[in-house]
A and B are shown apart, each in its own frame.
Chain A
Amino acid sequence: MSNKGALLKDLLLVVLLVSSMLLTKEGVTSLPICLNGSDSCQVSLGELFDRAVNLSHYIHFLSSEIFNEFDERYAQGRSFITKAVNGCHTSSLTTPEDKEQAQQIHHEDLLKVVLGVLRSWNDPLIHLASEVQRIKEAPDTILWKAVEIEEQNKRLLEGMEKIVERIHSGEIGNEVYSQWEGLPSLQLADEDSRLFAFYNLLHCLRRDSHKIDNYLKLLKCRLIHDSNC
């Protein structure tokens, strides 16, 4: 009898426990945005890199898209690729070509490389955005992407200057970039040549935007995550 009584008690206890556990909800806590007052409330380097990487990722995405669209629409059967081997206007800039090179280069130098490549594209992107309008039956998707890339590239450049400023805390050499001389080729009368000039430019854009994206991701992992992404 007493056993049964005890059992009943235990059961009651269990029921109570379960119900209490069911009733309690997990507390939710929120973190303040600025922990140490407004002074140190500036965007952290990590956040800056996150934004930069997001931008570069987006730019490269757009570049790939615009290239693929163009390739599909204008380059079929013209074997532009074989001619494109000639290189891009940024090939004068020394950029790491594989992982080892990219890892060996000092992060400040790599940042400079990124800045250099970004600046080298300032001019051509502006012209691309305007010249692409003249392509015969250019679809809207290509047109707006050209404009979008140009704008985003500027924003990324600003962001990168900020990052370099933060890391360098010194002056940024403005001179390290490659001049683009390709405007005339975009305005060639011969359609094939002109299309190839576009093709080549887009091809180079895709490549360089990928380079930038790749370098930035590398830098982010190295500087923010201590090479342990």
Chain B
Amino acid sequence: MKQKLTSSVQIILLLALIAVGLTDESYPGKPKIIRCRSLEKETFSCWWKPGSDGGLPTNYTLFYIKDSEEKIYECPDYGTSGPNSCYFDKNHTNPWTTYNITVMATNEMGSNTSDPQYVDVTSIVQPDAPVNLSLETKTSASTMYLWAKWSPSPLADVSTNSHAYHYELRLKPEEKEEWETISVGVQTQYKVAGLQAGVKYIVQVRCILDLGEWSEWSSERYIQIPNGESPPEKPTIIKCRSPEKETFTCWWKPGADGGHPTNYTLLYSKEGEEQVYECPDYRTAGPNSCYFDKKHTSFWTIYNITVRATNEMGSNVSDPHYVDVTYIVQPDPPVNVTLELKNPINRKPYLVLTWSPPPLADVRSGWLTLEYELQLKPEEGEEWETIFVGQQTQYKMFSLNPGKKYIVQIHCKPDHHGSWSEWSSEKYIQIPTDFRVKDMVVWIIVGVLSSLICLIMSWTMVLKGYRMIAFILPPVPGPKIKGIDTHLLERGKSEELLSALGCHGFPPTSDCEELLIEYLEVEDSEDQQLMPSHDSGHPSKNAKLIPKETDSDSGRGSCDSPSLLSEKCRESRALPSALETQEVRDIQENKGGKRSWQTQCIASEQKILLFNNENTKSSTWPTAQLPTNQPPMFAYHSTVDAHKITLSTTNVNITPVLVGNEEKHQSQYPMTETVHDNMVKQRQMENLHSTDQTTAQVRQSRPDDKSPFLNPELMDYVEVHKVRHNEEPAVLLKHKENNGKTEKYTVPGTSKEYTKVSTVVDHNILVLMPDSRIQHASMSQEPPMETSQNLQQGQAEKNMSYSLTVPSECKRETSGSEYMDPSSFLPSFK
């Protein structure tokens, strides 16, 4: 308890100390609401007088309570009516409510509240004083009266009928003290009669709104009541102007008419002359004016002009006006103002302004010389840019901000004296955005468009696959060997085909084996014509498939498969050949590089399909083909024709170039390389075009071939004479049978000639033409060789994914007839 007591005592002491210590700082004094007033019964304001602020910054808050509610509101607007005031706008003003208003002053020390003020809006209305009070004396029926007019304060909203102002007017002679007050009613004008003539009166008005308070009196107005009847007041010459330096006009302002109709007369005299003339023409230039036509206008002469006002009571003359017409020329504004944006090709665009002098001004004779000035600004601009142009009637503007709209005006002035005309009407011109930007945009558009085109092209290429390729790179028709029905090939009915080829019965018999004599390698980039039925909608898929197919494909059957293989094949399968094939493959890959390997895939797939249909034995086949050891013996033909994309495929003419490879085995290498080089070169040269390359390889075994693996016997060989691409693809083969035969026949064991189209690379056609004459001769001789050949072939396949130079000697050896070797259709890639 004691502790509590002491602590409370301490607190009290502390408080007392603080109170003592802060004597100069205290809570604010009581504010006082001075006045509440409504101007038009729709809004009202209250003002208060602050009390002492207690030495601290003080905030004032106005609270009010409506009589209908308990709620306390705060002032809605402290700003509108000035400091220490609160403005109640329409939403916060209700004429049927009594407001209980208090103002609270607050500072750090505390707060203080004013006495409440009760406000009834209706009773605090006090409008502003009326304005624009004008007085006039008029005479009607020989009685003089005063005509007073005024208007309500502009603050009041007169449009609403709820505000019916009532007016009071008071007047008194200037020297008297008492006012005479007249109740006017709701009108804003009043006629006062019975005034003393010759006395100066002071007049004021005020107004009231409903039950409110009277406004202040308006400002005082004075009027001299004319002394019965008097002469008119002095008129004033306002100005004289010559629009074209040939005629001029003067205007005057009449004074008070003194209650009588008044006549005005303009009189003038010219320098150096005593005579006084009267105005020649009062009418032309309107009322209270005088027009001096050409005859009455002299230059370099001073006119002394006066105007006399006359009524019944007398006359009054204006002050004289001295005019030298030279100096009062003020032309009309220029006309035909045109703005034109010039856009020269190799320069910056500029604005050309042209205009014509005012039609009245005769500038052609040289009598009047005009100078022009133009001003312009951007539409949203504040300041005009003024340009003095001189006497020319056109102006070029070079430095305008692009993308802005400009306003242009022109006025003119005589060269030395006179004054500027009015401005011509405003002309607008939109300056286009920067032309460089525009150019850029054009270029961007061009770029985007071209890239779009490229995109579309590549897209369609991807979508349409080989069709597009075929379109760009027209297909080279397959070699057409007389007597072979291509349709049979397409249909893939092996038996029929075989039979057509003269190889009856399947599995192949010795007959078939004997067919092999020669290989005809035809590389063709297009096989479309051979395989029209193949739709390559899924090139990528095909591409994946192919490598596998290559292996399984080995059995693309034909009659020549195992039986055809001779033992010599083995021998002939030498490393060189492998290398060679690789070379050739390289060539092909190079060739095909640009065409996308899809094409190749498709082509190869097609081949595969074709030969699968033929139901040939997969295992045996490839071996037969792969022995490529015969390089030297074949004429190696590489035909590369370049075609432009735009050329239609059917028109492609391919001229095969026959390269007879007369060299020996060893020389085979260089040969292929040269071919390779050629191809590459060609590719480089014809890069822009889509190249259609057809390579026909015709290998021929030569009797004089010294290769150890080679069969000494020489075969007949076939040259690819022509590869026509016209509609029906065909390879015209030129058989050198006669020679060959003779040679062959001389060698024992090789009594048959084969013509073999061993490879059709890329898009190739394989055509085999049996040489029926020799066909049957050595059929039976072949079987023993077959197996060995197979073995070798298997190895070969492992070594090389693909052998281009399929033809093997063995075949040649064994063959007496021509046949078609599908193994050459192996894809060129793995």
What is the interface of chain A, defined by CB distance below 8 A to chain B? 1-2, 4-5, 7-8, 11, 15, 21-22, 24-26, 57, 60-61, 64, 81-82, 84-87, 91, 95, 97-100, 102-103, 207-208, 210-211, 213-214, 217-222, 225, 227-229
Contact = CB atoms under 8 A, between A and B. Distances in A.
Kindly state the interface size class of chain B when it binds its partner.
35 or more
Given A82-B322, A208-B300, 16 more contacts: A4-B457, A8-B450, A22-B345, A64-B417, A81-B302, A85-B271, A85-B304, A85-B322, A87-B272, A98-B297, A210-B300, A218-B367, A221-B366, A222-B366, A227-B366, A229-B365
Interface in B426-447: 446
B416 A103 contact: no
B366 A220 contact: yes
A1 B645 contact: yes
Interface in B292-340: 294, 297-302, 304, 320, 322, 324, 326
Contact of A97 (B298, B416, B471): B298
B362 interface: yes
Which interface residue of A21, A81, A214 has the most chain B CB atoms within 10 A?
A214
A64 B415 CA distance: 12
B474 to A, nearest CB: 12
Given A87-B271, A229-B366, A4 B453 contact: yes
Interface of B: 245-246, 271-272, 294, 297-302, 304, 320, 322, 324, 326, 345-346, 362-367, 369, 415-417, 446, 450, 453, 457, 471-472, 645-646
A145 to B, nearest CB: 15
A207 to B, nearest CB: 5
Contacts of A214: 299, 367
Nearest to A97: B298
A127 B769 CA distance: 130
B326 A210 contact: yes
A98 B345 contact: no
Given A2-B646, A102-B367, A97 B300 contact: yes
A57 B297 CA distance: 23
Given A210-B416, A222-B365, A25 B294 contact: no
Contacts of A87: 271-272
A5 B471 CA distance: 14
A90 to B, nearest CB: 10
Contacts of A81: 302, 322
Given A21-B346, A85-B304, A229-B365, A1 B298 contact: no
Nearest to A81: B322
27 contacts: A1-B646, A2-B646, A4-B457, A5-B645, A7-B453, A8-B453, A24-B346, A25-B346, A82-B322, A91-B272, A97-B300, A98-B299, A99-B245, A99-B365, A99-B367, A100-B294, A102-B367, A103-B367, A207-B326, A210-B326, A210-B417, A213-B416, A214-B367, A217-B369, A218-B366, A228-B364, A229-B365
B329 to A, nearest CB: 11
A99 B246 contact: yes
Contacts of B304: 85
Contacts of B362: 99
B302 A227 contact: no
Which interface residue of A1, A84, A222 has the most chain B CB atoms within 10 A?
A1
A1 B365 CA distance: 70
A220 B304 CA distance: 33
Contacts of A25: 346
